[in-house]
Chains A and B, each alone.
Chain A
Amino acid sequence: QKEVEQDPGPLSVPEGAIVSLNCTYSNSAFQYFMWYRQYSRKGPELLMYTYSSGNKEDGRFTAQVDKSSKYISLFIRDSQPSDSATYLCAMSGITGGGADGLTFGKGTHLIIQP
């Protein structure tokens, strides 16, 4: 079983729809959870950063963490064609990202249709 599972997609939705992206994980030591957006042939861009369980909202983006289920989500409201990209979840333990680096999902390819 991989440490972090993420559906690769592609996930195709019409412009304006609410998008739900998800990751599951197996390592209960993970405490910090991140979402990155990566456009083709570019480096990942940090979107959301959360600690432990709960919700965090930033503009059109909402991140949710459910540690009891080992499940994290990213919601995108009012999706735009410019949101079309690969979305990567990442996580790390209490010792911080440096001690063992960030553990990434393989990414979900999202397509927003105009």
Chain B
Amino acid sequence: EAGVTQSPTHLIKTRGQQATLRCSPISGHTSVYWYQQALGLGLQFLLWYDEGEERNRGNFPPRFSGRQFPNYSSELNVNALELEDSALYLCASSLYSHNEQFFGPGTRLTVL
């Protein structure tokens, strides 16, 4: 069974630009979560999507947004990039209302 996949592996942007990160969940999983893992801060919860809707978000500004498509894949958009947005962005998926979250390999975003 294929795991969670994410693309691209690496992304380099400059301040003020927009970044788009993509995630495909494990087949059959309807919930997708996004986390940010910045150096020294640990994993921080960003967003939760389920059945095409944003269900909850962590303590991040509105320039972090995304969507979930009918096939349950998801996209994370980060607008007006700032230097401190440089981090590993991790996507996880789970069965709806199930707690076991399985992570993808991440997208490393570097903002110059």
Contact = CB atoms under 8 A, between A and B. Distances in A.
Interface string B19-46: 0000000000001010100001111111
Contacts of A106: 40-42
A92 interface: yes
B58 A101 contact: yes
Interface of A: 32, 34, 36, 41-46, 49, 88, 90, 92, 96-107
Contacts of A99: 48, 55-56
B90 A97 contact: no
A100 B101 contact: no
A45 B48 contact: no
Q: Is the interface of A mostly helix, strand, loop or mixed?
A: mixed
Nearest to B105: A43
Contact of B100 (A46, A100, A103, A104): A46
Interface string B79-112: 0000000001010001001111111111010000
A43 B103 contact: yes
A97 B92 CA distance: 11
A92 B58 CA distance: 14
B98 A44 contact: no
